[in-house]
């Protein structure tokens, strides 16, 4: 199982530049529709266990085009950067090189808005979410490879040489969780839809669940003692404490029973 988030389709927010006439809204709408179609195609391919390489390459192209659109349509920049960030995220490795510049530029565009993002709360919140969730997906892919290795071993154990990688994964989940916690904290001062804020918390739970599994894989390292394993726990406890600080319930039996594809309806609303 690969818990993922599904940031998809988008929204027209703001007005076009006077000099651009109606070109900017039309361009944004075209990119939004292309993103929707490619995302649907990717989901279908994943469900059928088919390759998604071509689709992800097209998603990366959408991200690049939306990034350029933001530069050309400055009054609609957050909406364009939202498309760009989502497309780069869903492009996985094909969009990895685009994610940081798109996130940086998008956050800067939001910071330049009047009333501190209140003119585009959904766009600006989702731009900030995409980066840490792309990181979480990258970490999860590596985690799944390690888990597969353990499942294929004769005794279900992992070699000691895998411990540094598992530590890196756990620290990566801490970083992604910390970033999302900051997004959630910042969003409280904006006019963000409540469902968006709730789903941001849900993404943090997905990260926590993956961190729990990574910690479990550490317990399968050859020769790992209970005392040694306890010494590896602080990063996981840090994520847990952050969730508890924000009153996010992690005590239920279904906390980590997340579906591979999360409901994305909250992201498609204007």
Same domain, 66 and 141: no
| pLDDT value at residue 184 | 79
Q: Is residue 127 part of a domain?
A: no
Same domain, 136 and 90: no
The count of structural domains within the chain is 2
Same domain, 102 and 214: no
Same domain, 160 and 223: yes
End-to-end CA distance of the chain: 30
List, in sequence order, every beta strand (DSSP E) within the chain.
none
Residue that finishes a domain, picked among 121, 142, 176 = 121
| pLDDT value at residue 8 | 35
Q: Is residue 13 part of a domain?
A: no
Q: List CB contacts of 78: < 8 A, sequence separation 6 or more.
A: 13, 14, 106, 109, 110, 113, 120, 123, 124, 127
| pLDDT value at residue 97 | 93
Mean pLDDT lowest among 52-56, 195-199, 208-212, 228-232: 195-199
Same domain, 103 and 151: no
Q: Is residue 12 part of a domain?
A: no
**Torsion angle of alpha carbons 135, 137, 141, 146, nearest 10°?**
70
Same domain, 80 and 163: no
Longest CA–CA separation in the chain, Å:
68
Q: What is the pLDDT of residues 124-170, one digit of tens each?
A: 888 888 889 889 888 999 999 999 999 999 899 999 999 999 999 99
Phi, psi (rounded to 5 degrees) for 65: -65, -40
Same domain, 146 and 109: no
Q: Domain span at residue 151?
A: 132-265
Closest to 69 measured CA to CA, from 25, 104, 35: 25
Q: What is the pLDDT of residues 57-102, one digit of tens each?
A: 999 999 999 999 999 999 899 999 999 999 999 998 899 999 999 9
Q: List CB contacts of 251: < 8 A, sequence separation 6 or more.
A: none
Closest to 80 measured CA to CA, from 21, 31, 142, 22: 31
């Amino acid at each position: 199982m690969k818990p993922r988030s599904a940031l998809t389709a988008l929204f027209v927010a703001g007005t076009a530049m006077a000099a651009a006439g109606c070109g900017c809204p039309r361009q944004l709408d075209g990119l939004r529709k292309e993103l929707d179609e490619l995302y649907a195609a990717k989901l279908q391919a994943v469900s059928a266990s088919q390759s998604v390489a071509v689709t992800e390459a097209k998603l990366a192209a959408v991200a690049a085009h939306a990034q350029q659109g933001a530069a050309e349509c400055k009054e609609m920049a957050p909406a364009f950067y939202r498309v760009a960030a989502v497309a780069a995220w869903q492009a996985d490795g094909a969009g990895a090189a685009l994610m940081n510049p798109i996130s940086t530029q998008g956050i800067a565009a939001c910071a330049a808005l009047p009333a501190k993002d209140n003119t585009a709360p959904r766009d600006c919140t989702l731009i900030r979410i995409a980066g840490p969730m792309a990181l979480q997906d990258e970490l999860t892919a590596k985690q799944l490879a390690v888990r597969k290795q353990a499942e294929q071993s004769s005794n279900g154990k992992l070699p000691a040489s895998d411990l540094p990688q598992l530590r890196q994964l756990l620290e990566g989940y801490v970083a992604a969780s910390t970033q999302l916690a900051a997004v959630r904290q910042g969003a409280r001062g904006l006019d963000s839809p409540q469902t968006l804020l709730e789903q941001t918390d849900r993404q943090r739970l997905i990260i926590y669940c993956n961190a729990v599994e990574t910690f479990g894989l550490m317990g399968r390292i050859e020769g790992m003692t209970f005392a040694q394993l306890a010494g590896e726990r602080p990063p996981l406890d840090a994520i847990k404490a952050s969730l508890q600080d924000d009153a996010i319930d992690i005590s239920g039996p279904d906390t980590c029973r997340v579906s591979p594809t999360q409901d994305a309806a909250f992201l498609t609303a204007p």
